[in-house]
């Protein structure tokens, strides 16, 4: 842990995590400076140097970087040339939080797994809180003075890229697929950032990995922690699935039809939470209750309505091809798919080359709509239409002989919306207006 008293610390990006880490470090005696690309940002007791950063940068001892700040940012490039130490907010939070950390990363499913683990451990009587990339900064938990048994931390590649001492008691790697290629030069850079989750683990720690994902498997082998591999297809852990039943030590807990979640990826999410729960003392009744009671989170293959025998599903959180593919696989019956948004430099040709046969029509819109449209045609998928907006996409698919309309963009939302949640709300609003 770095001694911060009387150190000059620059907060890069002044939103929720930046504000909380700044106040925490100020409590610890640091001199806080801040930079935000929006020069009108003002935080009381922070010295905003956005317009004069060049005259201050050589005086800075430490930078805390927001996940939204790219490595190519002019301030970061200059700081690296001066060998100024750069860390993320989760790194600083780990210096001061006084409980073991359960850290979850992966391309998709992080928030769902974190929420499941939090719910299960709470039912055991543990004092726990979900934090990190899920939206509540670790440093804010420290400021709040919350007395916890476990910190359940969702970690993104951007946060893990700048850790130094961050050390999970339990690390979870859900899955890995190309993502954020608008921020990384290649897939390997993205993987290497994720791999930091286990770099400080020891033999007294645990790492839960996806047995059916070759890269995740390698993470477990590289870690010094005890590896526990989870699969929805084979028995590899205490809790597993066999013949459509959740099993605990070869005795059934309940049938998978008792689970409200769709898709193998959600069954995997449950297996992660259930096996961590067993490690920490969960009994059969706790496990069964989680399986039967857990409901889908908003914007994650969320059922919206049925109109004229067509089911509408909102998967606005499907911000990459891997998530979109999972959503399609979870559907029963024919699918009309809506795609498009802010581009992340993924290859949609491969997606259409291997597209699930249940997808009968695709409507594309948004910032990279033309790219997706041309990729589909190039790979011989011709039942695709480029439209101007989300409403027109829904109207087009409503005319097709399909059972489900799935909004799973496979892209970020920043071309037209503040975030995926706002985009999902826009989709649901259109559906509700149709059904009224």
State the pLDDT at residue 233. Answer: 93
Q: What is the pLDDT along the chain (436 residues), one digit of tens a residue?
A: 899 999 999 999 999 999 999 999 999 999 999 999 988 888 888 999 999 999 999 999 999 999 999 999 999 999 999 999 999 999 999 999 999 999 999 999 999 999 999 999 999 999 999 999 998 999 999 999 989 999 999 999 999 999 999 999 999 999 999 899 899 999 999 999 999 999 999 999 999 999 999 999 999 999 999 999 999 999 999 999 999 999 999 999 999 999 988 889 999 999 999 999 999 999 999 999 999 999 888 999 999 999 989 999 999 999 999 999 999 999 999 999 999 999 999 999 999 999 999 999 999 999 999 999 999 999 999 999 999 999 999 999 999 999 999 999 999 999 999 999 999 999 999 999 986 5
Q: In terms of DSSP bridges, do strands 359-364 and 150-154 run parallel, antiparallel, or are they unpaired?
A: unpaired
**330/232 Cα distance (integer angstroms):** 14
DSSP-assigned states of every residue in 147-183: --SEEEEE--HHHHTT-SS---SEEEE-------TTT
Q: Which backbone phi and psi does 346 adopt, to 5 degrees?
A: -90, 160
Q: Which of 152, 144, 25, 143 is nearest to 99 (CA)?
A: 152
State the pLDDT at residue 135. Answer: 85
Domain extents in the chain: 8-83, 91-293, 302-435
Identify any residues that bridge with 303 across adjacent strands, giving them in sequence order. 313
Secondary structure (3-state) at 268 = helix
Instruction: Name the pTM for this structure.
Output: 0.90
CATH topology of domain 91-293: 3.40.1190
**127/117 Cα distance (integer angstroms):** 12
State the pLDDT at residue 435. Answer: 60
CA distances from 42 to 26, 45, 49, 233, 364 (A): 16, 9, 11, 52, 39
Secondary structure (3-state) at 392 = helix
State the pLDDT at residue 436. Answer: 54
CATH superfamily, domain at 8-83: NAD(P)-binding Rossmann-like Domain (3.40.50.720)
**11/20 Cα distance (integer angstroms):** 10
Do the Cβ atoms of 246 and 83 come closer than 8 Å?
no
The class that CATH gives domain 302-435 is alpha beta
State the pLDDT at residue 250. Answer: 92
Do the Cβ atoms of 302 and 314 come closer than 8 Å?
yes
Please, is 74 exposed, middle or buried when counting C-beta atoms within 10 Å of its C-beta (0-12, 13-18, 19+)? exposed
Contacts 24+ apart (CB under 8 A), 66-75: 66/11, 66/12, 66/13, 66/14, 66/15, 66/17, 66/18, 67/13, 67/17, 67/133, 67/156, 67/158, 67/159, 68/13, 68/15, 68/158, 69/12, 69/13, 70/183, 71/183, 73/12, 75/10, 75/12, 75/35
């Amino acid at each position: 842990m770095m001694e911060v008293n009387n150190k000059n610390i620059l907060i890069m990006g002044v939103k929720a995590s930046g504000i909380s880490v700044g106040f925490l470090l100020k409590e610890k005696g640091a001199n806080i400076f801040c930079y935000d690309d929006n020069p009108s940002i003002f935080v009381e007791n922070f010295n905003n140097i956005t317009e004069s950063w060049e005259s201050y940068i050589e005086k800075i001892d430490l930078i805390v970087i927001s996940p939204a700040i790219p490595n190519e940012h002019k301030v970061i490039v200059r700081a690296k040339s001066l060998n100024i130490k750069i860390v993320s907010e989760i790194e600083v939070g780990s210096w001061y939080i006084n409980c073991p950390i359960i850290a979850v990363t992966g391309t998709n499913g992080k928030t769902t797994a974190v929420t499941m683990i939090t719910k299960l451990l709470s039912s055991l009587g543990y004092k726990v809180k979900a934090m990190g990339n899920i939206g509540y900064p670790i440093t804010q938990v420290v400021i709040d003075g919350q007395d916890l048994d476990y910190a359940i931390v969702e970690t993104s590649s951007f946060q893990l890229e700048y850790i130094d001492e961050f050390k999970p008691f339990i690390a979870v790697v859900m899955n890995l697929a190309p993502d954020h290629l608008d921020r990384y030069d290649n897939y390997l850079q993205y993987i290497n950032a994720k791999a930091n989750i286990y770099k400080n683990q020891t033999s007294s720690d645990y790492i839960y990995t996806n047995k059916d994902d070759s890269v995740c498997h390698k993470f477990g082998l590289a870690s010094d922690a005890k590896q526990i591999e989870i699969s929805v297809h084979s028995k590899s852990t205490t809790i597993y699935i066999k013949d459509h039943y959740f099993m605990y030590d070869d005795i059934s807990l309940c049938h998978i039809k008792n689970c409200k979640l769709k898709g193998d990826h959600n069954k995997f999410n449950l297996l992660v939470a259930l096996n961590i729960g067993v490690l920490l003392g969960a009994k059969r009744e706790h496990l069964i209750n989680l399986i039967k009671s857990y409901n889908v989170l908003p914007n994650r293959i969320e059922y919206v309505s049925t109109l004229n025998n067509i089911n509408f599903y909102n998967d606005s959180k499907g911000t990459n091809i891997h998530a979109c593919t999972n959503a399609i696989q979870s559907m029963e019956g024919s699918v009309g798919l809506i795609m498009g948004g802010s581009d992340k430099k993924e290859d949609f040709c491969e997606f259409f080359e291997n597209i699930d046969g249940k997808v009968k029509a695709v409507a594309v819109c948004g910032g990279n709509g033309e790219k997706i449209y041309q990729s589909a045609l190039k790979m011989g998928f011709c039942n695709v239409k480029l439209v101007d907006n989300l409403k027109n996409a829904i109207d087009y698919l409503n005319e097709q002989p399909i059972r489900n309309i799935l909004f799973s963009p496979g892209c970020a939302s920043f071309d037209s919306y503040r975030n995926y949640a706002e985009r999902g709300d826009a989709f649901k609003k259109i559906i509700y207006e149709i059904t009224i």
